[in-house]
Structure 1
Amino acid sequence: MSRSDLKLRPVVADANPTSPISEAYRTLRTNLQYAETDRPLQLLMVTSAGPKEGKSTTIMNLAVTYAQMEKRTILVDADLRKPTAHFTFGLTNRTGLSHVLSGQADLREVVKESRIPGLDVMTSGPIPPNPSELLGSSRMDALLDQLREQYDIVLIDTPPVLAVADAQVVSSKSDGVLLVVNARTGKRQHAIKARNALQFVQARIVGIALNQTAHRDAGPYYEYVDRT
């Protein structure tokens, strides 16, 4: 399948940058930038407690807003179970993160330019049989070091925390974690359980983004998380 055959999915921060929802994502970006100024937030992981809470939509719109600030930005689709970035940006997924982590490709072979100026994407690549092991490998550490050197902002999408161990593995390698919660369908006990699971591996939770909040026209609302 060629890139031209792939159907693009609109990202509101790009398709309608003046909308209230786009402004909400820019506010979320700003809040993250100033969450803890004493420690840089260069590598941010975005996850959720369970499926269909809006984590991938959130991270893709965040990526666009960072690129719009002329930040060198890359979105890494580390959801090696149900990846979505290649669909959203209309990119081929023949090569990607799984190839790098299995030693079949290097960084420059899998990074793809998106239609958004300044935003690169690393798609997941073919779904491997051992995602958690690959994400916890020394190759993943080396890859993240490379990305830190080449980009201002590295955004990593992972599977939901309560589904598999992948998010816990990646969170321990990240500068911070944003937990996305669907305000309409998400359950409080699931969000608490996800937070506890991340804290167990000493992840730095920088906030919770409440998605589908009525007073924000279905946009995200950021809340600082007190980790004391």
Structure 2
Amino acid sequence: MKTKRKLITITAPKSPISEQYKTIRTNINFSSVDREMRSIMVTSSGPGEGKSTTAANMAVVFAQQGKNVLLVDADMRKPTAHYTFNVQNTFGLTTVLTRQKTLRDVIHPTEVDHLDLLTCGPVPPNPAELLSSRSMEEFLVDVYADYDMVIFDTPPILAVTDAQVLANQCHGTILVVSSGTTEIESGQKAKELLQTAKGKLLGVILNNREIKDTNYYYYYGKR
């Protein structure tokens, strides 16, 4: 098993970057005045832009607020959450959606109070079909009964259709872009695909912006 990845909201909860994640949390809470925000999908336009790290840190700060949170690794192409939290990925979301095990059989508690993890499970041959299945609808009903907030880490939206399929099932979507890496056209195309899928784009997180040598700044912008 790979070495556990460090999450700054756990290792340095009072750091400037952790404070930015809390700002994101606050903005999300304010954005849900008209509708309760119970599920958030985190995606990016392409790979390597930091969506999985962002999803995990967001899950941590919501849990630190006292909400019962479930982080779901819905990236069935390249799952990573089990590495981040150093747990086995023998069973997970795909196991639940194919009705081989129940949700409660495969949940992993984490070291963070109020935060549970659902890993991806075995990589399936048909991710988009699983995410659009009746089982997925039933899964959402199930998790809403036990959790205040569900955060989905999904594949890059320009790479495969999985994120588009899930976008209109979640209450909101956050798009992660990487400073100096994400092309403007790619970001615009990702936004268009989310809108076409009738997903509610809450905003964009600009990741990996270098300021004064090695400091990083995260910005959450409402449309």
Name the TM-score class by shorter chain.
over 0.9
Query: Alpha-carbon deviations, 1:177-218, whole Å to 9, x = none?
Result: 001111221111001001101111111111111111235932
Query: Alpha-carbon deviations, 1:138-175, whole Å to 9, x = none?
Result: 00110011111110110001000000000000101000
User: Quick check: 1:93 aligned with 2:78?
Assistant: no
Give the gaps of 5 or more residues in structure 1: none
**TM-score, structure 2 as length reference:** 0.96
Which one of 115, 120, 128 corresponds to residue 116 of structure 2?
120
Give the gaps of 5 or more residues in structure 2: none
**Secondary structure, aligned partner of 2:193:** helix
The sequence identity of aligned pairs, in percent, is 44
Question: How many correspondences in the alignment?
Answer: 221
> Does structure 2 conserve the Cα–Cα contact (< 8 Å) formed by 1:6 and 1:91?
no
Match of 1:223 in 2: 221
**TM-score, structure 1 as length reference:** 0.94
Query: Alpha-carbon deviations, 1:33-60, whole Å to 9, x = none?
Result: 1124111111000000100111011110
> Does structure 2 conserve the Cα–Cα contact (< 8 Å) formed by 1:25 and 1:219?
no
Whole-angstrom distance in 2 between the partners of 1:175 and 1:9: 28
Match of 1:15 in 2: 11
Which of 158-167 and 207-216 deviates more?
207-216
Match of 1:136 in 2: 132
Paired letter, 1:224: K
Note the 1:8-47 alignment, pairs <5 A. Answer: 8-47=4-43
**Secondary structure, aligned partner of 1:53:** coil
Whole-angstrom distance in 2 between the partners of 1:10 and 1:46: 19
Query: Alpha-carbon deviations, 1:85-138, whole Å to 9, x = none?
Result: 100001110000010111211111111101111100000001011111011100
**Secondary structure, aligned partner of 2:72:** strand
**Secondary structure, aligned partner of 2:95:** helix
Whole-angstrom distance in 2 between the partners of 1:92 and 1:146: 23
Which one of 53, 72, 80 corresponds to residue 68 of structure 2?
72
Match of 1:165 in 2: 161
Paired letter, 1:171: A
